[in-house]
Amino acid sequence: MSEKKENHTWVRTLQRLMEEQGLNPRSLSLRAGLNATAVRDMIEGRSKFPRYDTVQALADVLGVTPAFLMGGQTPDAEAKNAAFGKDVELLTEIIARLQETASEMGRELTPREFAAMSASIYKQMQEEPESGRKNRLSGLKPQISNLLEYEVLRHKRGK
């Protein structure tokens, strides 16, 4: 009996998300790269426990996590996951630009220097409103260059 209830809960979540996004079972199935009748079969109870890759494909199209879709996560946790994803994207961009700029300047960073610089820039950007961060990314390279030049001077004076 509990299996039916769990299935019913995740199917209701699936149906609600489809309705909110204006999708029907066929369109969701096709967007997720599934058989055209896959979602309909889930809704009608013919496919009670989809494979993880199927749930992941549906969740990707619906803009949620597999755990949220299957009912194992609250909306608050979903929001935290989305925020974490944005943080990872921001940090990835900072790291990529730091590596690129250091390479262009012929500067080899120790892991500690690299981590400290990345963390410093990340922290500064986290303190800004999100709208300002997008503009700041375009000006990130000069900021990194200045930071690297400062570190070079600091090391020369420390020796």
pLDDT score for 22: 93
Q: Do 93 and 126 belong to one domain?
A: yes
pLDDT digits (tens, 9 = 90+) for 45-77: 888 788 888 999 998 899 888 888 887 655 565
Q: Do 127 and 65 belong to one domain?
A: no
pLDDT digits (tens, 9 = 90+) for 100-149: 888 888 888 889 888 888 888 888 877 766 665 556 666 777 878 888 88
* Cβ–Cβ under 8 Å, residues 121 and 144: yes
**Which residues lie closer than 8 Å to 43 by C-beta, 6 or more apart?**
11, 14, 15, 25
- Full residue range of the structural domain in which residue 16 is found: 2-73
Return the residue matching tokens 């149906």.
15
Q: Do 69 and 82 belong to one domain?
A: no
Query: For the chain, how many structural domains are there in total?
Result: 2
pLDDT band at 1 (very low <50, low <70, confident <90, very high): very low
pLDDT score for 3: 43
**The tokens of 156 are what?**
């020369």
**Is the pLDDT higher at 79 or at 87?**
87
The CA distance from 70 to 65, in Å, is 9
Q: Is the pLDDT of residue 23 over 90?
A: yes
Q: What's the predicted TM-score (pTM) here?
A: 0.45
Q: Do 84 and 147 belong to one domain?
A: yes
List Cα–Cα distances, 72 to 13, 68, 88, 127, in angstroms.
11, 6, 23, 32
Query: Among residues 127, 40, 125, which one has the least CA distance to residue 90?
Result: 125
Highest mean pLDDT (candidates 2-16, 89-103, 126-140)? 89-103
List Cα–Cα distances, 137 to 12, 13, 23, 71, in angstroms.
40, 36, 35, 36
